[in-house]
């Protein structure tokens, strides 16, 4: 699903929910709205029980001229007015309407998350700590570069993130990137501080991305062309390294709230 498709679906959800904020409704409009909601929920492959419950909310019973679920005909308005099952003008007690729209948004958020390279929890986890503000900024830039498919920027910011992670260990700060990784490769106690296995350090160190970045002048744009897929793989590896450092290492301390 493309970003445009996600935004289009988000607008459809908002427009359908906005329909309920009207002060009066008409029969054909109500039926069209119910049909559009069911069609959208079916596109999302929502749980059948939720869709069935949503549809039952609008049962017409014996006289649909007077009542279409929570829509009650008002002689005064000469139109339908929205009430909930308990006769008040809100939908807090009509569970399946609320459940269906909350479910639709949850499914859309999940789909949107699949489009991202940086897990949302990482950004949230590091957002409150000034100490790790540089890492947090790199994550946000990496996500932006990834969504824009900017290979050069994604590469540069992934390298910056990797440097920031490695610089958490004081003894590595003055070294060039390749040497930092070499030292980490050969020092088990140092690797344990990061919580990382030799394999992931080897994967980072073997990447031609690291070698290429160090032969490029830092003030000049990158002159070589690295396919976006390769750069994305490297960025993912750096983000995975960060997750490992946070979950099993000793160098990043996140205070629980």
Structure tokens at 220: 């000049």
Confidence at 123, pLDDT banded by 50, 70, 90: confident
Q: Enumerate the H helices of 23-119 as residue ranges.
A: 27-43, 48-56, 95-114
Burial 124-157 (b: 16+ CB within 10 A, else e): ebbeeeeebeebbebbebbbebbeeebbebbbbb
What pLDDT does 207 receive? 56
- What would the two tokens of residue 138 be? 């790199």
pLDDT digits (tens, 9 = 90+) for 15-39: 999 999 898 999 999 999 999 999 9
Residues recorded for the chain: 257
Q: What is the mean pLDDT of residues 235-254?
A: 91
**Is there a contact between 115 and 9 (Cβ–Cβ < 8 Å)?**
no
pLDDT given at position 104: 92
What's the whole-model pTM score? 0.58
pLDDT confidence of 137, banded at 50, 70, 90?
A: very high
* 35-88 confidence digits (pLDDT tens): 999 999 999 889 899 999 999 888 766 555 688 888 888 888 899 998 865 445
């Amino acid at each position: 699903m493309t970003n445009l498709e996600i935004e289009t679906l988000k607008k459809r959800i908002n427009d359908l929910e906005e329909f309920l904020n009207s002060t009066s409704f008409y029969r054909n409009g109500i039926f069209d709205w119910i049909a559009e909601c069911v069609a959208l929920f079916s596109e999302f492959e929502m749980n059948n029980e939720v869709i069935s419950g949503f549809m039952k909310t609008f049962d017409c019973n014996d006289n649909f001229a007077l009542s279409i679920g929570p829509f009650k005909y008002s002689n005064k308005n000469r139109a339908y007015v929205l009430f909930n099952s308990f006769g008040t003008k809100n939908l807090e007690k009509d569970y399946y309407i609320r459940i269906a729209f909350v479910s639709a948004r949850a499914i859309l958020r999940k789909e949107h998350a699949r489009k991202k390279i940086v897990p949302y929890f990482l950004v949230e986890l590091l957002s409150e700590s000034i100490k790790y503000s540089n890492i947090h900024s790199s994550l946000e830039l990496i996500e932006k570069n990834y969504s824009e498919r900017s290979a050069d920027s994604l590469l540069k910011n992934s390298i910056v993130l990797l440097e920031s992670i490695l610089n958490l260990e004081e003894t590595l700060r003055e070294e060039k990137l390749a040497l930092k990784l070499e030292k980490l490769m050969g020092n088990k106690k140092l690797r344990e501080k990061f919580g990382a296995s030799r394999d992931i350090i080897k994967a980072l160190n073997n990447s031609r991305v690291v070698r290429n970045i160090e032969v490029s002048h830092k003030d000049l744009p990158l002159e070589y062309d690295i396919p976006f897929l390769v750069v994305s793989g490297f960025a993912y590896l750096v983000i995975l390294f960060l997750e490992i450092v946070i979950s099993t290492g000793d160098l990043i301390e996140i205070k629980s709230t």
